Amino acid sequence: MYHIAEPQNAESSIVKTEEGVEPQNALTEKFTEAEWKAVKELRAELPSIFAKAYPDKSPAPTSITLWGVELSTTPNAKASVILAKFARARSLNVAHAADMLVSTLKWRDEFKIDEIMQEKFDPEVFGKLGVVHGKDKEGHPVTYNLYGAVKDMNAVFGDVQKFLRWRVQFMEQSIELLDFETVDQMVQVHDYEGVSMTQRDAHQKAAAKEATSIFQNHYPEFLSRKFFINVPTLLTWIFWLFKPLISAATLAKMSVVGTGAKTIGAELSQIIPVSELPKRYGGEADAF
């Protein structure tokens, strides 16, 4: 379910450097000198990265499309934004960022992302679990994961791989709302209303662990903020359970919020305009 305006395209500019012409946009103009250095070094490594990611292809591709953006050794502002994500995720260590990109491209091929994007999921089950509605005060799309919306947990998590395919598809659909010119991140709200400790079985734990690994390793720097809301006291252990799997930078973007529209609204309205925030969370918007 979607209710969001299309992002506005920003005019790209071109900056001449000692190394030649470097296309710019609103996001690349915020890069630090160290980030630019890492991006350029990572860009130069792309032929080697593609060769490692697709060892069965001969010759190796000279360019690939990732999240709708073409990556190649030819300078491109949007591509620079994508490469910066991998560099930042690995503390600007180019060798580690290259390994992450290789791993991500291999994983996308093995996980069959293109096929997953065409897969149909039961709207009565998965259609209630994920909603994209509105934007925050900085233009980031806001995604809501409603874990208690479906009472039959077996229908959701009985087939762990099916759940993961849906979750990846939902993430990819959310990324389609990013223009990589003015906006390259999203806000996530994870709502645990109606979820109890007794509902968490081995399937749910396995799904949560694998999903955390997927997004940590293959979707770098897409998170602007993440809120865990309506989290019962006894379930706060979930957050701490996965803390060792989450980077410090990602952890700093996370907040565990209490229950009730007033409490949730007071926290979320600092980031999301009240007009965009659903009424169920203390806002004014008529949504889901």
Please report the pLDDT score of residue 6 as a whole number.
39
Query: CA 108 → CA 45, 53, 117, 133, 168, distances in Å?
Result: 19, 10, 12, 27, 10
CA distance 215 to 220: 7
Sign of CA dihedral 244, 250, 253, 259: negative
**Cβ-contact 54, 105 below 8 angstroms:** yes
Give Cα 239 to chain centroid, integer Å.
18
Per-residue pLDDT of the chain in tens (288 residues, 90 and over written 9): 433 333 344 445 655 555 567 999 999 999 999 999 999 999 999 999 999 999 999 999 999 999 999 999 999 999 999 999 999 999 999 999 999 999 999 999 999 999 999 999 999 889 889 999 999 999 999 999 998 888 888 888 999 999 999 999 999 999 999 999 999 999 999 998 887 666 667 888 888 889 989 999 999 999 999 999 988 766 666 666 666 766 677 778 888 888 899 999 999 999 999 999 999 999 999 987
The per-residue DSSP string of 151-177 comes to: S-HHHHHSSHHHHHHHHHHHHHHHHTT
**Could you tell me which residues are beta bridge partners of residue 186?**
223
Residue 143: closest CA among 86, 216, 227: 227
Which CATH superfamily hosts domain 121-281? CRAL-TRIO lipid binding domain (3.40.525.10)
Please report the pLDDT score of residue 19 as a whole number.
56
Please report the pLDDT score of residue 243 as a whole number.
67
Please report the pLDDT score of residue 52 as a whole number.
97
The overall longest dimension of the chain from CA atoms, in Å, is: 62
* pTM, rounded to two decimals: 0.87
Please report the pLDDT score of residue 14 as a whole number.
58
Please report the pLDDT score of residue 15 as a whole number.
55
Please report the pLDDT score of residue 8 as a whole number.
40
Domain ranges (residues) in the chain: 28-111, 121-281
CA distance 189 to 254: 10
